[in-house]
Structure 1
């Protein structure tokens, strides 16, 4: 658990950086662009890189063998570059340099994201991975909250201050991880073996495909709901913009609070059981949101919804890596981010199109329907909670 908290510090700084990036970079873009759609497109560059780079980098890290380990070289190379371009963003002097710094920052982040996350199952036994993922997500959530609180204060003083602070934290987190986690010493025995080239064809068993489909559908629901909720609150419920945004914060807050308990419950009752419970709970929550009559009721429901989302999200990544060989953690990490990023790209416009045709009243029915599709896919996953190395089963 000590190693997990140390690794979690890396996720804390990364989440801090992403929250700051998503919160304040649109202000820079707005100085040059009048199109909100174009600003939105530029802010999703990371998802497009994730579609192509992260599966490749994750797969390649499985086959990397250096004196620093399999994952660490990507951190040593990517994090300093990301810190550099993150710090340069507020010092842009026109739109071209701003976009260039954004692209370079996103590219460098894509170089180490999958290997960093794959470190968790590398150093954590199967029985403790949900607990570890809960700790990591808890620290990541704290980083995001800190970015929007302390980061806002620093931004109001000087716009470059929060970016320099986060860049410094990037380098500190790299130093902490590098000093305290030695792959050749800390990885569990099977992960020390130099892996052969991993075939995606072999990795995409029917179990994995159903699980990836479930991940895709629940991210369609969550990403679309979060992207359009503030507009729903204003247009459908008559809330102010600030009140609508503050209401959604209850969903994120309960996710952070219940991140670690969700991991503990997953370890005790099984990852699949907790995921299915979370899906069923969110279907009920989304349907219930259509009959909201007060702000207190709205925020209470969203708070409970965040708990169910923690049940799903905290147990999902440990479950996807457990469905394959221990030699393919990086590859499966890349696949996980591929489908979640694809959902992040297509969900807001698809749900937005449905809202354009049928009104905001359809939003939560669509989210509930996507969750039901995720449930159907999860019920097709018959994998047990343990897996033997290099053995693949075709079920369903």
Structure 2
């Protein structure tokens, strides 16, 4: 694995390096939001912890529902384009959540079987689930396409290395920022898009996969 990391670093093309750094960035952004969303719901939106978990579940549900479609889109228009599209959508939705007043976000829209109370933020999170599926479903196949079959296992391991590092770093980074912002949990909706923008910029330089 260390030899592969050295090879990625020394590669003149830098596509693999950019892709792995993009994976790190978007997972840091996503994991930061996921880890603190219940607290965000309680302290910023004025909802219960159960309501926050339910809203986060709306994202997860639409991620699963759209997963097959995301793979199909990636096969049709290319994985780099599909991932970039997902990043743009996710950045926009998170920015809307950051700027909209908590009263607007928490406003109930409808009662739907299975989903329960659907709020304005629920609709935005459903869209975020679709966007996240465009990114996440196509990321590992893009990594696999970087190399020949004999090295697929190594690059799959690198994918999980970078995503796991992000899962560790994301909550810690965002927790520190929340404290610096005076326990303002709305900051997760600002930090997330910043990391997604970094990931999008890195993806523009990816030419393989």
Structure 1 position 202, deviation (Å): 2.9
Q: Deviations over 1:101-145 (max 9, x none)?
A: xxxxxxxxxxxxxxxxxxxxxxxxxxxxxxxxxxxxxxxxxxxxx
Is residue 2:186 matched to residue 1:381? no
Which of 158, 162, 166 does residue 335 from structure 1 map onto?
158
Q: CA deviation at 1:324?
A: 2.1
Alpha-carbon contact 2:22-2:200 (below 8 Å) kept: yes
Q: Are 2:130 and 1:325 equivalent residues in the alignment?
A: no
Give the TM-score normalised by structure 2: 0.86
Q: Which runs of 4+ in 1 moved over 2 A?
A: 198-205
2:32 is the counterpart of 1:224: yes
5+ residue gaps, structure 1: 1-54, 57-197, 386-396
The 5 Å alignment of 1:77-96 reads none
1: CA distance, partners of 2:57 / 2:131: 15
- 1:76-116 CA distance string (max 9 Å, x none): xxxxxxxxxxxxxxxxxxxxxxxxxxxxxxxxxxxxxxxxx
Q: How do residues 127-166 of structure 1 correspond to structure 2 at under 5 angstroms?
A: none
Higher alpha-carbon Rg: 1
Any residues of structure 2 matched to 1:150-229 within 5 Å, and which? 199-204=4-9, 205=11, 206-229=14-37
Gaps of 5+ in 2: 109-118
Offset at residue 371 of structure 1 (A)? 0.3
Task: Give, in whole Å, the separation in 2 of the partners of 1:289 and 1:330.
Answer: 38
1:274 pairs with 2:82: yes
Deviations 1:197-223 (A, max 9, x none): x74433443111100000000000111
- Higher RCO structure (Cα 8 Å, ≥6 apart): 2
Deviations 1:267-313 (A, max 9, x none): 11110110000000000011011215124111000001000000000
Q: Hey, what's the Cα distance between the residues in 2 that align with 1:245 and 1:362?
A: 19
Cα distance in 2 between the residues matched to 1:199 and 1:315:
22
Matches of 2:191 and 2:31, distance apart in 1: 12
Residue pairs, 1:233-312, within 5 angstroms: 233-290=41-98, 291=100, 292=102, 293=104, 294-295=107-108, 296-312=119-135
Aligned to 1:65: none
Asked whether the 8 Å contact 2:8–2:17 carries over to 1, the reply is no
How many residues align? The count is 189
The separation in 1 between residues aligned to 2:27 and 2:123, in whole angstroms, is 22
Distance in 2 (alpha carbons) for counterparts of 1:364 and 1:200:
32
Q: Which structure is higher in strand share?
A: 2
- Root-mean-square deviation (CA, aligned residues, Å) is 1.5
Instruction: Choose the corresponding residue for 2:138, options 310, 315, 323.
Output: 315
CA contact (8 A) 1:275 1:316 kept: yes
- 1:365 aligns with 190
Question: Corresponding residue for 1:346?
Answer: 169
